[in-house]
Amino acid sequence: MQALADMYDWCFAMKDYHEKSVKVQPLVQKNLQMEGELKVAKAKLRQAQEDLAKVNAKIKSLQDSFQKEMKNKNDLDEQARQTKKTMDQAQRLISSLSGERKRWAQQKSTITERKKRLVGDVSLCCAFLSYCGAFNSEFRNILIQQCFTGDMKKKGIPVTTGLDIVKFLVDDTTVGEWSL
């Protein structure tokens, strides 16, 4: 009897196991399927995180490049502003000096003429210093105007007519000091 009771308990346990295994087996299958899907999802997540890291690195690189280019643009804008300011100043200077052009042209022709007569004027002053020192002012003027200037004109040496030798040789300050 004891063996029959043990057999009964075993059969009952097998029946109970079968009923529960019928309910649990789909859950175990579902669990295995879900674990497989979890692994796939984790792999996709890992790949997505790697892609995100690459995209974030690219974004950082682009932002750094953008900042560098913006700084470069701002530097160029500042250079352009400085250049425009310099050009405006140069234009104002040119405009203010345009009236001087006429005067410079006149002075150029005057200087060119004086340059042509410089050799004769210096020769006249040298002759005055060398030969006229011992004579009075009237005789000096006669020597300069008639003899020296006339001789230079005969020889074709350009000379300033009515040259004031004192003004040619010294400036007004020196003459003022002499007067004192």
- Counting as low any pLDDT under 70, the low residues of the chain are none
pLDDT at site 68 = 94
Is the pTM higher than 0.75? The answer reads no
CA angle 147, 153, 158 (to 5 degrees): 120
Domain spans, the chain: 108-179
**pLDDT tens readout for residues 127-147:** 888 877 777 878 888 888 888
Q: What is the pLDDT of residue 138?
A: 86
C-alpha–C-alpha distance, residues 63 and 147, integer Å: 92
Residues 33-60: tens digit of each pLDDT: 999 989 999 999 999 999 999 999 999 9
d(CA 60, CA 67): 10
Q: Which candidate, 144, 139, 153, places its Cα nearest to that of 124?
A: 144
Q: How far apart are CA 68 and CA 136, in angstroms?
A: 86
Alpha helices (H) along 132-148: 137-142
d(CA 167, CA 178): 13
